[in-house]
Amino acid sequence: MEITGGREAATQGEAKEWYRQFTSRSASVALARRQVGKVLERWGYAREDIDRVVLVTSELATNALVHGRVAGRRWEVRLIRVENGCLVEVSDANSRMPQRKTPDEEDEYGRGLLVAAAVADGLGHRERRDLGKTVWARLSQSVPEEPRREPEKREKPGEREKPRKRGESGESEKPGKRGGPGEE
């Protein structure tokens, strides 16, 4: 499988944008998912956010492969780190714009844009300057929960635990067991 045109742009030592081009083969979608996951891990995204971005990438990439395929042309995935989130762009060489469908319960296909729209905060498409189109989705980062702290135990005056002497464990000794190894 061939991947070309990959780069990760850096601004002040921190990656802000990443993209890769993929060949029009079904195995490329799985490769795109893996690479997007790795990039987001490097960027420090939470697992929940990575999973959502990978899901959206997978749906948009599958659509590019199935509906946007043009012989001899590659499709591209671009991630752009934006404030409090990530922008996913999937571009292909076909200029036909995507159309959302309302599949029946029995339909096996036609849910990709619906899934992406349900997970993303925004979803859209635009023409590319040179050839084809770009379908994009914006996803916000989840706010990590603060770790729960155990309530601090407050001591009442005079209830302070006495410090133990060296060798005291605070546990009762078993009968017949005294001293260290070899002592009776």
pTM: 0.68
Hey, CA dihedral for 173, 176, 182, 184, is it positive or negative?
positive
Whether 94 and 70 have beta carbons less than 8 Å apart is answered as yes
**Mean of pLDDT values over 72-84:** 93
Confidence category of residue 107, pLDDT binned at 50, 70, 90: low
How much is the pLDDT for 148? 45
- pLDDT tens-digit readout, 67-77: 888 888 999 99
How much is the pLDDT for 111? 73
Confidence category of residue 31, pLDDT binned at 50, 70, 90: very high
Residue 128: phi and psi, rounded to 5, are -95, 150
H-helix or E-strand spanning residue 121: none
H-helix or E-strand spanning residue 138: strand 133-140
Reply yes or no on whether the pLDDT at 132 is more than 50: yes
> For residue 81, how many other CB atoms are within 10 A of its CB?
20
Sheet of strand 133-140: strand arrangement: 3-11, 14-22, 75-82, 85-92, 133-140, 122-127
157-182 b/e with 16+ CB inside 10 Å = b? eeeeeeeeeeeeeeeeeeeeeeeeee
Q: What is the percent of the chain with per-residue pLDDT over 90, rounded to a whole number? A: 47
Token representation of residue 49? 């956010």
